[in-house]
Structure 1
């Protein structure tokens, strides 16, 4: 988990004012991240307490060494995986559901790739606002895409959203003006899944070192950040009603998952900060 930095210590060094001037609000919050800032570890760095596992063709128990934890880092398809060269896709999901939060984690690519994507881009993802359904590879959710050259894209999985327009190269945030279009882009259908795919507005991922991803989600909107920059924003997210699939309801929360998609990847420092009403107000007025 990110280590706290004492503001009193910084002031004593004469750096408080300079730090506040030099860093953006997001960077300031990163520098101060710690228990006093309200960050909660979702991954304890020791075991998978609070998470559930699912792998297509395997089930809810990791029998093939897909996951390994070393020195506080979660390795996916690392050295402990002794498969035959082909990997069933899957995910590791929180048992708990979340809404109105700031999620932060770090990831780094490994070298190994497996069939059926041995020659493809390394791929993974963060699924959020995920339906509670168990035993399904891709429950209804929103994907924060983690794929080489595409980190930060948004994929709506049997859900829908209005994409934040690209205004001069920057995704619209944090408010969606009433005068802007309110028509949802028709999804692409592939078998039982309907997808909308929204492309990021900038390239900030690093292929050979650790990357920090931030997800700010409150109400029915969300922002994807890659190494401190907003690259994709979503508004008016919605999902079909369970009691009447012909109708929609606002999508405001759900489980959070990390994908297993035939590529070696590591995660660490997976933390979440619940957003209070004051935090949400700060996001809306640009001071968060």
Structure 2
């Protein structure tokens, strides 16, 4: 196990110094890696301008009121939803691709749960580095998991990543320990290959609003939950559909998932790094 002294040594190597280490965990490291331009809204809080909609079994039009906006908040599968008890899963997606950015948003769970996950933990997610093109369920991407007591996990789908070395519970960021070049193991999930990189700690709340942040810089990424950095990824790669070979990936569309649970989003904003 990495000691606190070794962690402080890493911070010194990164140019942060022991003073920053005294303010750990999490938020200081995230701030150190996220200086950038001015914030701007990515979702305007009124409609899906700049975004597209996809629901499995339904398509590109929101037939059943899956998405609704009130007072600057976007509600997913809320009271306005009038469709079947087993709504098709899907997402909203940015029309543009993004790279080198800091994304921030707030989310809050609602009470409604739907088949086939009435008894499962409520689940959603931010999918990033998704390619442009056709829409389909479980697209190629890196998922920033939003799930009860698992928010911040990373699930690369036909992508892969090197999990940062954790220095006593602190994923190394904005640079990893030298020599960490091993990609996390993949599992065959049928139509795709997946990794599951678990967050270092549970910092989400099941009641009220949570703030999550995603920092993408080059082929690296950090997941921040309520001010704590919980996951850091390096050497991000995507699998090319034609030859299944992996190559570095640094940009793509950003998606917010629709997954059988009521959830609200607000203050979805982004800035360039």
TM bracket (short chain): 0.7 to 0.9
Aligned residues of 1:26 and 1:228 also touching (Cα < 8 A):
no
TM-aligned CA deviation for residue 242 of structure 1: 5.0
TM-aligned CA deviation for residue 244 of structure 1: 3.3
Q: Deviations over 1:212-248 (max 9, x none)?
A: 0000111000000001110001000001235532x22
Give distance in 2, aligned partners of 1:39 and 1:221.
Answer: 21
Secondary structure of residue in 1 paired with 2:155:
strand
Aligned residues of 1:133 and 1:139 also touching (Cα < 8 A):
no
**Mean CA deviation greater in 231-240 or 169-178:** 169-178
Aligned residues of 2:90 and 2:259 also touching (Cα < 8 A):
yes
Name which of 264, 267, 271 aligns with 1:266: 264
1:111-150 superposed matches below 5 A: 111-150=111-150
Give distance in 1, aligned partners of 2:50 and 2:119.
Answer: 34
Cross-structure match for 2:46:
46
Cross-structure match for 1:158:
158
Aligned residues of 1:41 and 1:272 also touching (Cα < 8 A):
yes
Give distance in 2, aligned partners of 1:108 and 1:219.
Answer: 30
Cross-structure match for 1:7:
none
Give distance in 2, aligned partners of 1:101 and 1:68.
Answer: 27
Cross-structure match for 1:70:
70
Cross-structure match for 1:207:
206
Give distance in 2, aligned partners of 1:144 and 1:110.
Answer: 20
Cross-structure match for 2:238:
239
How many residues of Structure 1 are paired with residues of Structure 2 in the alignment?
Answer: 247
Cross-structure match for 1:168:
168
Cross-structure match for 2:19:
none
TM-aligned CA deviation for residue 186 of structure 1: 2.9
Give distance in 2, aligned partners of 1:37 and 1:132.
Answer: 25
Name which of 245, 254, 257 aligns with 2:255: 257
RMSD over aligned Cα atoms: 2.1
Secondary structure of residue in 2 paired with 1:43:
coil
Q: Deviations over 1:6-31 (max 9, x none)?
A: xxxxxxxxxxxxxxxx9x668989xx
Cross-structure match for 2:93:
93
Q: Deviations over 1:126-153 (max 9, x none)?
A: 0001111322112210000000010000
Cross-structure match for 1:57:
57
Cross-structure match for 1:102:
102
TM-score, normalization by structure 2? 0.86
TM-aligned CA deviation for residue 83 of structure 1: 2.0
Assess, with a 3 A threshold, how the Cα gap between structure 1 residues 164 and 26 changes in structure 2: closer, same or farther: closer
